[in-house]
Amino acid sequence: MQDPRIAQLARQLVHYSTAVKKGEKVMLHLFDVPDEIGIALIREIRAKKAIPVVRIEHGQIGRELAMGSTDEQYKMVAKHQLAEMKDMDAYIAIRGSSNICENSDVPTSKMKTLMTHMRGVLDHRVKKTKWCVLRWPHPSMAQQAGMSTEAFEDFYFRACLLDYKSLIPAMNALSRLMNKTDQVHIKGPGTDLRFSMKGIPALTSGGNYNVPDGEVFTSPVKDSAEGYITYNVPSLYQGIPFDNVRLEFKKGKIVKADAGAMTKELNSILDADPGARYIGEFALGFHPEIMEPMRDILFDEKIAGSFHFTPGQAYEDADNGNRSQVHWDLVSIQRKDYGGGEIYFDGKLIRKDGIFLPKSLAKLNYK
């Protein structure tokens, strides 16, 4: 018997997250996921009298392609996938994985070749379609989270099926506050960072693009970051695990980067192009069901009481002009159980130890 939560999730993705309309063409991009979620999505799309288009991929096959990537190969792949994407009105991606480190041994140069050519497909999807991306609760994710498979599945559906609409008023209040703010000061263990976000829009994310969701994001003025930051959430990028990443900034640029035994790999990523050493996003996360990290950024960047400060590409709707093939959401938790911390907007304390202080933002606090 199919888990009824799968059908519920499919309805949310089609009706709310991407708001599919009659006659629209919807790409379903399915990575290592069971047939049940694909079937449920197809049925919901057809119920809206829209047209489902399916692309299926597998992790080990993708790795093999990446291992031997060439400009000729990915120029051709990107050409055809871009043509297909240009014919779509909406895009829903469900991504599972039995091995989160599947691409860890793909040479950086090969990943760069792949990402450089596929950037145009990603940019068109983000800018020109309605889109939503989410993970699938594979047992490997339960292992990452240190949970049993059943307990993780329960957590997954609670997080993904959150009543996002109820958070919208408080999210809008936070967005308005950020839009009025010039100077930001973040303090915490291993962190003393200042930057400006003057004139750059702050946008809400309430279940429309990523699921699970729960953040308000903007980007810093490109050359404004000064100081240092230590991220206390473990990260995974290009299949490589990183812990305790520490970055130092001068005039917006990362001038020193350390990650212990992975410092060489960290700097290799940051040297991918000039924009990788500048910040493309600053966001505050507040999902009430997501409390602990699990090396999965779609969950970790929404952790209650967290923020992320992202090297690389800026989103064009919250744009500071930075361009890069890299967009690496590195996260820090400021709750008391993670050492605490403060965020100031124009000298006023806005969040302390992960708790928003203004009354208008109280509904964004975890319980």
| Per-residue pLDDT tens over the stretch 13-50 | 999 999 999 999 999 999 999 999 999 999 999 999 99
Buried b (16+ CB within 10 A) or exposed e, 167-201: beebbebbbebbeebeebbbbbeebebbbbbeebe
Note the pLDDT tens digit of each residue in 307-318: 999 999 999 899
* Average of per-residue pLDDT across 237-258: 95
Sign of CA dihedral 22, 168, 93, 111: positive
- Whether the per-residue pLDDT at 257 is higher than 70: the answer is yes
CB 189 within 8 A of CB 245: no
* Residue 102 pLDDT: 84
CA distance 315 to 318: 5
pLDDT tens digits, residue range 230-240?
A: 999 999 898 88
* The pLDDT value given to residue 307: 98
The answer for residues whose C-beta is within 8 angstroms of residue 332's C-beta and 6 or more apart is: 188, 191, 229, 230, 231, 232, 233, 306, 307, 308, 309, 341
The DSSP string of 256-283 is: EEE-GGGHHHHHHHHTSSGGGGSEEEEE
Q: Looking at 104-118, 168-182, 285-299, 315-329, which range is the least confident one?
A: 104-118
The residue-averaged pLDDT of 243-266 equals 97
Q: Which domains does the chain have, with CATH numbers?
A: 4-160 (3.40.1830.10), 164-364 (no CATH)
Share of the chain above pLDDT 90, in %: 82
Phi, psi of 111 (to 5 degrees): -65, -40
The model's pLDDT over 99-147, given as tens digits with 9 standing for 90+, comes to 777 888 888 889 889 989 998 999 899 889 999 999 899 888 888 888 9
Pairing of strands 235-237, 51-57: unpaired
Q: Is the pLDDT of residue 303 over 90?
A: yes
**What is the predicted pLDDT for the residue at 141?**
85
The predicted model gives 193-207 an average pLDDT of 96
Residue found by looking up tokens 């976000």 in the block = 197
Please tell me what DSSP assigns to residue 117. Answer: H
The residues with which 186 forms a beta bridge, in sequence order, are 193, 343
Per-chain mean pLDDT for the chain: 94
- The whole-number average pLDDT for the span 175-203 is 98
Highest mean pLDDT among 31-35, 149-153, 343-347: 343-347
The average pLDDT across 191-214 equals: 94
pLDDT above 60 for 1:
no
> Averaged over 247-267, what is the pLDDT?
97
pLDDT of residue 220: 98
- Token couple for 332: 């820090």
Confidence at residue 100, expressed as pLDDT on a 0 to 100 scale: 74
- Is the pLDDT assigned to residue 270 strictly greater than 60? yes
Please report the pLDDT score of residue 98 as a whole number: 76
Dihedral over alpha carbons 350, 175, 218, 256 (to 10 degrees): 0
* Nearest of 121, 124, 130, 122 to residue 13 by alpha carbon: 130
pLDDT of residue 244: 93
CA gap 41, 39 in Å, rounded: 5
Q: What is the mean pLDDT of residues 79-95?
A: 95
Are 36 and 5 a contacting pair, CB within 8 Å?
no
Please report which helix (H) or strand (E) contains residue 158, including its range.
Answer: helix 149-160
Q: For residue 46, what pLDDT is reported?
A: 98
